[in-house]
Chains A and B, each alone.
Chain A
Amino acid sequence: MSACADRGAIVAERIFALIDCNSFYCSCERVFRPDLIRTPIVVLSNNDGCVVSRTPEAKALGIKMGEPWFQVRRGFEAAGGVAFSSNYALYGDISERVMTVIEGLVPQLEVYSIDEAFAELTGIQTDRVRMGREIRSQILAATGIPTGVGIAPTKTLAKLANFAAKRWQRQTGGVVDITDPKRRDKLLQAVAVNEVWGVGRRITERLGEMGIRTAWQLAEADAWTLRKQFSVVLEKTARELRGTPCLELDGIAPPKQEICCSRMFGERLDELAPIREAVASYAARACEKLRAQGSVCKRVRVSIRTGMFNPDEPKFTKGMLCELPYPTDDTRLITQAALAGLDKLYRPGFAFSKAEVLLMDLCGRGEFTDDLFASSQPANSEKVMAVLDSINAKWGRGTLRPGVVPAAPAWSMRRELMSQSFTTRVDQLWRVSAR
């Protein structure tokens, strides 16, 4: 990240755009279900726990973000609403298509999350609002996903412009350009401070105590006070709101320093055997991610816990760090270490709800210094893993897996309302009728 650019320097004015998909998961569910075009839709989190995405029709029914599904289910279904389990295979594919469309239209792109991307439009001479509309309509044509586009001199302002594009969808046509300082100031005054990128609930509360309630008041706040009372990050946010770019587009994400695979079980587990299956399968998945980024790891942490909210249940949570003999990416070795850790952690008599496998102390393959007396990963281990990965890439994840993991485990996530993998499985393709 570079230092803040001086105001009024003689360089082309920086222009950023944020393109954000509307109710992304729900919109994906609609792509192959034209019959649901006006139906209220929600998508549920892992294990069908909470609402994580809502269409405007579902919002109009009073469904809140994060609400537990079992609480809203009856009312929602009675009103004709349809719920889906998270279908990440579908969302991932549609997201890739959306990003590919944007990539073809802008000079530089940062994929910020599954449904948002920043683009830099600096130096582009054409009408920016028109360009925003072009991006929107091409994404809609290629994928059917509606989006909003915010355009501004900084990333934080682009995010805010995008918020305005969504809130005032009808008036703005989904594109808001606040490069003009007058429009920018008007928007800052109209928006509450908690809608600013990076301002969470706790910061909002503390800002409120200082009398800062709108985005405009944050932009006007004294930089030194913000830095002292909060952080440099919030100071930068305020500067960005004033129109001084402090954040650059992040290109390719640096390799992760830790890799985690953690999931709730579909049902409570009290015996060791099924928990071992789950931990082995999470370890195998984490190792796939590890090899995909070309790293090896030196330690693995395994942890298990019971549910934390049911007052009648005895609670238990414990983790353990397991050392590996040498930095490795071998599924067999890492799974073995994780299972050995689990065997020590496990206590009978508890209803366990979740396990986690965390790979730690990662470094690039071939980047670590060998211990003179330690053994290192044998070459044939790399060959075996390469074969494992290529077989799973060709025949589907989990085709080759540790022997402990069954093909259809009883503990796997509850996803009872899952739609088809329309674009990623040839046996689940969309069926069109020639009748």
Chain B
Amino acid sequence: MDSVSILGPVAPSPTTIPFFLPTVPAGFPSPAQDHIEQRVSLDELFQLHRPQIYLAQVSGHSLTGLGILDGDLVLIDKALQPRREDVVIACLNGDPLIKIFDIEQQQVVLRSANPAYPPRYVLEGEELQIWGVYVGLCRQGRNCG
């Protein structure tokens, strides 16, 4: 290409161009630089951003056999359909309970995981609403201040 066409003078521009980069690395570049990834996030792991996920606090000992203890925080998925053996939030006559959902001869049974708590058979005429399904557990260890 040896022909040149003049397009006109260069207009002044408000854009400033730096003379040098603001930081000059002086030491040895970190060998991890190309391998940096996002730190694992519990929010993402449990998908807490989803609109149907709620936190509730357990009070009582009826699920100790499953490792769900008094004072634990549980994650609830409100939109999930309960299956047999799921741990659920069952509102029985208006009371929110955390129980194992089961069906025995077409009758709903709310079971516990602690021999001290007998199964609760839901009778006809009682009001039962499965509020949501248990999907995760949080418990703090030694207080990290």
Report how many residues on chain B are interfacial, defined by Cβ distance under 8 Å: 32
Q: Nearest chain B CB to A89's CB is how many angstroms away?
A: 14
- Which residue of A has the minimal Cβ distance to B94? A35
Binds A, one of B16-24, B34-42, B52-60, B101-109: B52-60
Q: Contacts A34-B91, A35-B94; is A429 near B73 (CB within 8 Å)?
A: yes
- Which residue of B has the minimal Cβ distance to A429? B57
Q: Nearest chain A CB to B144's CB is how many angstroms away?
A: 15
Q: Contacts A429-B57, A432-B89; is A34 near B78 (CB within 8 Å)?
A: no
- Quick one: which of A68-105 are within 8 Å of B by CB? 96-98, 100-101
- Which residue of A has the minimal Cβ distance to B112? A434
- Quick one: which of B54-69 are within 8 Å of A by CB? 54-63, 68
In the bound complex, CA of A245 to CA of B98 (Å): 50
A130: Cβ under 8 A from any B Cβ:
no
- Quick one: which of A28-43 are within 8 Å of B by CB? 32, 34-37
Binds B, one of A137-145, A276-284, A329-337, A362-370: A137-145
Number of A-B contacts (CB under 8 A): 85
Q: Are B98 and A433 in contact (CB under 8 A)?
A: yes
B70: Cβ under 8 A from any A Cβ:
yes
In the bound complex, CA of A433 to CA of B96 (Å): 6
Q: Nearest chain B CB to A31's CB is how many angstroms away?
A: 9
In the bound complex, CA of A426 to CA of B72 (Å): 12
In the bound complex, CA of A96 to CA of B48 (Å): 13
The size bracket of the interface on A is: 20 to 34
Q: Are A430 and B96 in contact (CB under 8 A)?
A: yes
- Quick one: which of A109-163 are within 8 Å of B by CB? 138, 141-144
A435: Cβ under 8 A from any B Cβ:
yes
Q: Contacts of A35 on B, CB cut-off 8 Å?
A: 91, 93-95
In the bound complex, CA of A423 to CA of B94 (Å): 19
- In the complex, which of the residues A100, A432, A434 contacts B51, with contact meaning CB atoms closer than 8 Å? A100
- Which residue of B has the minimal Cβ distance to A137? B79
Complex A-B, nearest 10 residue pairs according to Cβ-Cβ distance, in ascending order: A35-B94, A434-B60, A97-B51, A142-B52, A34-B91, A435-B60, A141-B79, A100-B51, A434-B62, A430-B56
Binding site for B on A (CB under 8 A): 32, 34-37, 96-98, 100-101, 138, 141-144, 423, 426, 429-435
What are 16 A-B interface contacts by the 8 Å CB criterion? Answer: A36-B94, A37-B94, A101-B51, A141-B52, A142-B51, A142-B52, A423-B55, A429-B55, A431-B57, A431-B96, A432-B59, A434-B58, A434-B61, A434-B62, A434-B68, A435-B59
Given A34-B95, A141-B52, 9 further pairs, Cβ under 8 A: A34-B96, A34-B131, A98-B51, A142-B51, A143-B78, A426-B73, A430-B56, A434-B60, A434-B98
